[in-house]
A = this chain, B = another copy of it.
Amino acid sequence: MSAQGFERHDHAACITDGLAAAERVCAERGLQLTRVRRRVLEYLLGEHRALGAYEILDRLSAEGLGKQPPVAYRALEFLVTNGFAHRVEKLNAFIACGLPGKTHHPVILICSDCGAVAETATNPAAGALGRAAKASGFAIDRTVIEAEGTCPRCAGAAGPA
């Protein structure tokens, strides 16, 4: 279970940048990035894979920051609501947002081999979803766009026989 992102990168920067972005946005909007919320965001930023609410809760608990499910869910709700994290429906789990502060419709790619999760963004009106919605007169509020498959790293490692 290595689970890096799909590409090599300066991972320390993921964490510091993500945190910095969250702090900036919270300052702008008068939101409180409290200890628990900040810590949860750090957990998520620290891994390019999805963490379940109870895995997060375990970590919080180990640090003495709370041991009941609502502690984790409240922090996650804050992070998701304010765009610092996304819920991965397919996994019932959560990842840090790759574009914090910008309203967007995330696209989630999940490697079923190593568990890595990557995010990109899209225009909801683009693509099949937008066309389908337009054709039927459906007004989109929120989208869930996710794919399971094999990331380039795993495809290379266990690749075509």
Contact across chains for A133 and B147 when beta carbons are under 8 A apart: yes
Q: If A127-B127, A132-B107 touch, does A147 touch B138 (CB 8 Å cutoff)?
A: yes
Q: Is A155 an interface residue (CB 8 A)?
A: yes
Q: Is A128 an interface residue (CB 8 A)?
A: yes
Contact across chains for B144 and A147 when beta carbons are under 8 A apart: yes
Contact across chains for B141 and A112 when beta carbons are under 8 A apart: yes
Q: If A6-B138, A138-B152, A139-B149 touch, does A132 touch B144 (CB 8 Å cutoff)?
A: no
Number of A interface residues at 8 Å Cβ cutoff, please give it. Answer: 39
Chain B residues closer than 8 Å to A135, beta-carbon distance: 120
Chain A, 102-157, CB within 8 A of any chain B CB: 107, 109, 111-112, 118, 120, 122-124, 126-130, 132-133, 135-152, 155
Chain B residues closer than 8 Å to A140, beta-carbon distance: 147-149
Chain B residues closer than 8 Å to A151, beta-carbon distance: 136-138
Complex alpha-carbon distance, A151 and B138, angstroms: 5
Chain B residues closer than 8 Å to A143, beta-carbon distance: 145-148
Q: Is A89 an interface residue (CB 8 A)?
A: yes
**Chain B: CB-nearest residue to A143:** B147
**Chain B: CB-nearest residue to A126:** B128
Chain B residues closer than 8 Å to A120, beta-carbon distance: 128, 132, 135-136
Q: Is A24 an interface residue (CB 8 A)?
A: no
Chain B residues closer than 8 Å to A133, beta-carbon distance: 109, 147, 149
**Chain B: CB-nearest residue to A132:** B120
Q: Is A11 an interface residue (CB 8 A)?
A: no
